[in-house]
Amino acid sequence: MRIMVLKKRDLILILFFLLVGIFLIFLFNYPQQTGIAIVEQNGAEICRFDLQKQNRTEEINVGDKYNVRLKIEPGAISFIHSDCPDQICVKTGKISKPGQAAVCLPAKISVKITGNKKTHDGYTG
């Protein structure tokens, strides 16, 4: 059976589905990929960063007993240094999505990200 490579209907099909896909992207109004990073010490908020709007990389020092250095960059936040012995917070690496958190227990500092819009519990796939 010989089949033509491209027919006019193929183009219609392709265009139709591309438009449907693009339309759905707008329709679903995707939750932002990142959110607001909230830095807490002893359970009390000490500062927050809107990672969505963050457009440059900065580093801040927090903590008293242990010196902790946080790096805030567009769309992500991470512990880059901590004087604590276990270094779990540093090993956590960058966090960027709502629901993620990084904690330095010895310094009692935690960073968690919350969505600034209604978001979903999680994605699977």
Partner 1 sequence: MKNISNLNISNRTRSVAFNGLLAALALTLSAVELMLPPIPLMPPGAKLGLSNIITMYAASQVGLIPALCIAVIKGLFAGITRGATAMMMSLSGGVLSTFITWALLHLKKNPFGLIGLGVAGALSHNAAQLLVAMLLTTPAVIYYLPFLIIFGVIFGIITGLVLRVIMPLLGKFIIE
Binding site for partner 1 (CB under 8 A): 1, 3-7, 9-10, 13-14, 17-18, 20-22, 24-25, 28, 30, 120-125
CB nearer to partner 1: give 97 or 108.
97
CB nearer to partner 1: give 22 or 46.
22
CB nearer to partner 1: give 7 or 53.
7
> In the complex, what is the shortest distance from the CB of residue 6 to partner 1, in angstroms, rounded to a whole number?
5
> In the complex, what is the shortest distance from the CB of residue 62 to partner 1, in angstroms, rounded to a whole number?
33
CA–CA gap between residue 113 and residue 105 (Å, rounded): 17
CB nearer to partner 1: give 9 or 91.
9
The tokens of 122 are what? 């999680």
Q: Tokens 């020092």 belong to which residue?
A: 61
- Kind and range of the H or E element at 8? helix 8-28
CA–CA gap between residue 64 and residue 86 (Å, rounded): 17
> In the complex, what is the shortest distance from the CB of residue 97 to partner 1, in angstroms, rounded to a whole number?
13
CA–CA gap between residue 46 and residue 40 (Å, rounded): 5
Determine the distance from the C-alpha atom of residue 72 to the mean position of all C-alpha atoms in its chain, rounded to a whole number.
12
> In the complex, what is the shortest distance from the CB of residue 77 to partner 1, in angstroms, rounded to a whole number?
22
